[in-house]
Structure 1
Amino acid sequence: MNRKFIPFITLLCLGAASLSANPVLFWNDQVLNATRLSRNPPPIAALHLATYHAAIFDAVNGFDQSYDPWLVDEAAPAGSDRKAAIAAAAYTVLQAIWGNEVNPRVLRKAYDDALAGIANGDAKTAGINWGQHVAKRLLDNRADAGLNQPYAGAITSDAVGKWRETPPAFRPPVSPAVAHVRPFVMDSAEQFRAPPPLDLDSPEYAEQLAFTAKVGARDDAERDEYQTLSTPFWADDLGTATPAGHWCVIAQDVARRQELTVEQTAHLFALMTLATADAGISSWEAKFHYLHWRPETALREATADLNAHIEAKPEFIPNMASPAHPTYTSAHSTFTGAASRMLALYIGTDEFKFTSTSDGLPGVVRSYDSFSEACIELNMSRVWGGIHTMIDVVEGRRAGIKIADYVFAHTLRKK
């Protein structure tokens, strides 16, 4: 991997230029800011980003109807202004989802600024009305998707091998209801469920636990500085763009450098966020189906009666705090498997040199030669963090890739 750094200000300048030239990129920037400020957990953020970008796509697609829509199979009114439609669709969803979590004046200013450059008249009014119509259809569709319904299954257990709250905060499980949310594209939440985790008494499980203990301990771990910093670089937790949003930042660079049209940009972002939303649902379904314990719990509580090959480590502390949900599969790996695969599918190759920043390590820029290289580094960052074993991240990535393939083949297809 290429561990070089580039001046941070250069990347900021490139990003600003791209946003000014493409309204979809401008509105992607606004939603990522809202995501950071709202502090929603990754699976919730992924669901919201998909609703948002699907609305923008259907609004844009209504003008030429070049693709199958996600939901709204109508033509935009003749003479409508497309930029006004994009602004109205984006702002309507922003208000509905983030209006109580983000200063509404910030959202309104972005909307007013976007509309200020459009001449007043019938075209502008028609565009606004069209964008609002599409957004409301999307919001109505997702209102009964199940996110607000309580999860009926087990969410924690004291049984051997099952997940229970972990120190230091002993937080209750995050958003178990995501496990039964209606997918955007998948046929069901369990469609791409990973196979069962390794048997607790198997030598393979003991070997993977030992590897996590060796490279993922807070102290005296066998990892270098780059590996240690990879954990916060890819952490993407509360207060950040989250994993789905991190890849939206990467996709901005892809769209700019590939010189995608407004329509193509909306198409790419819709496909990618639909895939990451379904990836979150899929991973959460697996997590609460298997309810598998975290490595730190296994290392502290495992006994010879459970697995004679496991070397118990009662004092083990992971390099990062274990997230408050079961370990299998890794959601970050599933999100990133889906996003990285979708970008490769969209531009026709995985080989694409790019750089990435991180909300967790401001000012740090890393460079990669392919989307899969970044995905694999993300996978390892969770093991270096001490919160996953290899099978968690491998099966998570595998599911994410399958989901991206399915989304790419089954929705928003070129007519």
Structure 2
Amino acid sequence: MRIFIITLWVLIYALPSSAVVTAAAPHSSKQQNAENFLSIPFETAMRYVAEAELEAPAASRIYALLALSLFNSHQFAMGGDAYKISISQDRYSISREELIEGVSETLFYKLFPEIAKQPRVLTADNQAAIQHIVSQSLSILPLPEPIIQYSEAFQATLIHPEWRDATPLELVSARQFRAKGPPPFNSPEFLKTLERVRIYGEDVSEYRLADGSVSAAFWGNPAGTMTPPGHWNQIAIEAIKDKPYEFQLELLLTLNIALYDSGIAAWDTKYHYNYIRPDNYIQKTDPDNPNWKAMGDTPHHPEYVSGHSAFSGAAAGILTAYFGDTAFCSQSKSMWGLERCFTSFQNAAQDAGQSRIYGGIHFDFSNMDGLILGQKVANHTLRRLTEQNVISLPSKASQKIK
């Protein structure tokens, strides 16, 4: 994994109109706990995802499992309707907070047995309630079976070709929102975007401004970090910290359903088209640049569409439905606590998508089509959960969902 070194010059002068880099003052642990009880299990999940070096689709499953388990724990404790699982009619003498803590610990231990701590020993009744929620949650989102489609050596280098066969939560099928496809080689659209990524995405580029380098590093989130779905969960947790408890649970459930389903839809599109990456295309077709190198590390999965853009389009769609065009700042734990500020969630998604061109990893059309795919999944998720009475959106937001 490449470590981007951001120079002092970048930190001082890379100040665009829509995104600002600043130093962030950390909150005390006491203040964080008071602001958002749910931040604790999600921060733990981000840490385990990073330690396990999960790729983005697999990480999105972890966050989705956590979100629906916590939502259902609340519903179980309060006597409400659960999402996707049955709730036992038996009542247990366990508080909502104890149930959420117990479910989180048990879920993490089942998902990460080598790095997660063992759950605390509880009474038989309380343990039965926890196991019921965790086991049913895991049955909803099983890991997809490996696909033996390529040679064994080549198969080992690919990132989740089987993910297009993962079980979606609200999508009818993985191909429901499959993107329209990349433009033909040598078409005007392709040649234009090829030139953009060639000059702006090169490892050492005289054309890329300092802010482009900051953006590429800020949104990078490769395996070994919390990944793009984790980054958007971090943004969401900060946005909901002053909201009622039920609102927090509802938003995190909705967000992570959309992120998880977007990963499935994006990976279906990727392995359907099997499109070439910019560095491979430039090296093979440009005699003047046989050793062209991207700023970022090229992932081992097809180029079209951008997974970062799909995740970002989905997250921005969900967060905008709940909060509207709200300005916010996002902190990068991997960049010395720096913040990057945006005029809206859609503005942040556009920046995240564009960062992949600055990183030399994607073409423009893969970014744009990925954002559109993610937005479609978000709208579908909002509509489906509203129809099922799982969520209650503000009336204005509900009217905008098509």
TM-score normalised according to structure 2 size? 0.85
The yes-or-no answer on 1:250 pairing with 2:229 is no
Residue 352 of structure 1 aligns to a residue in which SS? coil
The count of corresponding residues between Structure 1 and Structure 2 is 373
Kindly state the Cα deviation for residue 6 of structure 1 after the two structures are TM-superposed: 4.0
Identity over the aligned pairs, expressed in percent? Answer: 22
State the alpha-carbon separation in 1 of the partners of residues 331 and 262 from structure 2: 23
Kindly state the Cα deviation for residue 384 of structure 1 after the two structures are TM-superposed: 0.4
Q: In structure 2, what is the equivalent of residue 413 of structure 1?
A: 390
Kindly state the Cα deviation for residue 395 of structure 1 after the two structures are TM-superposed: 0.5
Kindly state the Cα deviation for residue 372 of structure 1 after the two structures are TM-superposed: 0.9
Q: In structure 1, what is the equivalent of residue 295 of structure 2?
A: 319
Q: In structure 2, what is the equivalent of residue 358 of structure 1?
A: 332
Q: In structure 1, what is the equivalent of residue 280 of structure 2?
A: 297
- List gaps (5 residues or longer) in structure 2: 1-16, 393-402
The yes-or-no answer on 1:239 pairing with 2:217 is no
Kindly state the Cα deviation for residue 380 of structure 1 after the two structures are TM-superposed: 0.8
Kindly state the Cα deviation for residue 376 of structure 1 after the two structures are TM-superposed: 0.7
Kindly state the Cα deviation for residue 331 of structure 1 after the two structures are TM-superposed: 0.4
C-alpha spacing 1:75/1:60, structure 2 compared with 1 (3 Å)? farther
Kindly state the Cα deviation for residue 414 of structure 1 after the two structures are TM-superposed: 3.7
Kindly state the Cα deviation for residue 75 of structure 1 after the two structures are TM-superposed: 5.8
The yes-or-no answer on 1:227 pairing with 2:212 is yes
C-alpha spacing 1:132/1:17, structure 2 compared with 1 (3 Å)? farther
Kindly state the Cα deviation for residue 221 of structure 1 after the two structures are TM-superposed: 3.6
Residue 324 of structure 1 aligns to a residue in which SS? coil
Kindly state the Cα deviation for residue 268 of structure 1 after the two structures are TM-superposed: 1.2
State the alpha-carbon separation in 1 of the partners of residues 253 and 361 from structure 2: 31
Kindly state the Cα deviation for residue 378 of structure 1 after the two structures are TM-superposed: 0.6
The yes-or-no answer on 1:381 pairing with 2:355 is yes
C-alpha spacing 1:218/1:376, structure 2 compared with 1 (3 Å)? same
Residue 198 of structure 1 aligns to a residue in which SS? coil
TM-score normalised according to structure 1 size? 0.83
Query: How do residues 28-177 of structure 1 correspond to structure 2 at under 5 angstroms?
Result: 28-64=42-78, 69-74=83-88, 77=91, 79-100=93-114, 102=115, 104=116, 107-108=117-118, 128-143=127-142, 145=143, 147=144, 149-153=145-149, 172-177=157-162
The yes-or-no answer on 1:334 pairing with 2:334 is no
State the alpha-carbon separation in 2 of the partners of residues 32 and 226 from structure 1: 26
State the alpha-carbon separation in 1 of the partners of residues 72 and 179 from structure 2: 32
CA contact (8 A) 2:61 2:141 kept: no
State the alpha-carbon separation in 2 of the partners of residues 16 and 185 from structure 1: 37
CA contact (8 A) 1:194 1:395 kept: yes
State the alpha-carbon separation in 1 of the partners of residues 126 and 248 from structure 2: 19
CA contact (8 A) 1:155 1:173 kept: no
Q: In structure 2, what is the equivalent of residue 19 of structure 1?
A: 33
State the alpha-carbon separation in 1 of the partners of residues 49 and 262 from structure 2: 18
The yes-or-no answer on 1:189 pairing with 2:146 is no
CA contact (8 A) 2:250 2:391 kept: no
Residue 327 of structure 2 aligns to a residue in which SS? strand
State the alpha-carbon separation in 2 of the partners of residues 359 and 290 from structure 1: 34
Query: Which stretch has the larger CA shift, 17-26 or 399-408?
Result: 17-26
| 1:174-222 deviation digits (Å, cap 9, x = unpaired) | 1211121111211111111101111113121111101110111112341
State the alpha-carbon separation in 1 of the partners of residues 106 and 207 from structure 2: 49
State the alpha-carbon separation in 2 of the partners of residues 64 and 14 from structure 1: 30
C-alpha spacing 1:395/1:17, structure 2 compared with 1 (3 Å)? same
CA contact (8 A) 1:92 1:136 kept: no
State the alpha-carbon separation in 2 of the partners of residues 209 and 346 from structure 1: 37
State the alpha-carbon separation in 1 of the partners of residues 372 and 29 from structure 2: 31
2:201 counterpart (193, 196, 216): 216
State the alpha-carbon separation in 2 of the partners of residues 36 and 190 from structure 1: 29
State the alpha-carbon separation in 1 of the partners of residues 220 and 289 from structure 2: 25
- List gaps (5 residues or longer) in structure 1: 157-163, 304-310
Q: In structure 1, what is the equivalent of residue 245 of structure 2?
A: 262
